[in-house]
Amino acid sequence: MSDTIIAGLALLVSVINVVLYFRLQGKYNEMTRTQMLTAQGAIETQVRNSISDATKEVLHYATEVEKNPSSKVIQQAYFSAEEMYRNAYEDACAKYLDRKIDVERFEKMYKQEINKLVNAPQQKEFYATNQTTYASTVAVYKKWFSQS
């Protein structure tokens, strides 16, 4: 009889362990999901800030070039700012392709901007070649606009 009681208690302890395991596993999964979403949000904020900062730089140096069009230093700074702008979009598109950011939100936020960037007359030369250094931007552009 005592063997039956011990076996019953062991079964009860095992059932309690299984219940607790599944509860903790659910909490762990939720914590992991929250951490992933937090990291994704941080990456999206970084992307947004990078693009915003690069846009401000381009606008700043475009204004400076208008004020002093003969300055080679200002022209070089402007070209560097444009490159930083293209690189910001390239980095963002690479993160999109790697699915490190919310792809639906990224498309809603940047679809038209990427279309304008790739088709802008002053930028077209950087995206029209087969050997572009902006392969991620071109890949995203083709993904969104070759099916249209």
Rg (CA), the chain: 27
| SS3 of the chain: helix, strand, coil, percent, to 5 | 85, 0, 15
Q: How far is CA 36 from the centre of its chain?
A: 13
Return the higher-pLDDT residue of 4 and 118.
118
Using pLDDT thresholds of 50, 70 and 90, give the confidence band for residue 132: confident
Alpha helix positions (H), the chain: 2-67, 72-97, 103-119, 124-127, 135-145
- Residue 10, both tokens: 């062991």
Q: Give residue for tokens 């941080």.
A: 42
- Residue 42, both tokens: 């941080």
Whole-model pTM: value is 0.77
Using pLDDT thresholds of 50, 70 and 90, give the confidence band for residue 147: low
Instruction: Give the separation between CA 134 and CA 16, rounded to whole angstroms.
Output: 56
CA angle 113, 115, 120 (to 5 degrees): 95
Report how far apart the first and last C-alpha atoms of the chain are (Å, whole number): 77
Helix (H/G/I), strand (E/B), else coil: 36: helix
pLDDT of 142: 93
Q: What is the pLDDT of residues 46-82, one digit of tens each?
A: 999 999 999 999 999 999 999 999 999 999 999 999 9
Q: How far is CA 88 from the centre of its chain?
A: 11
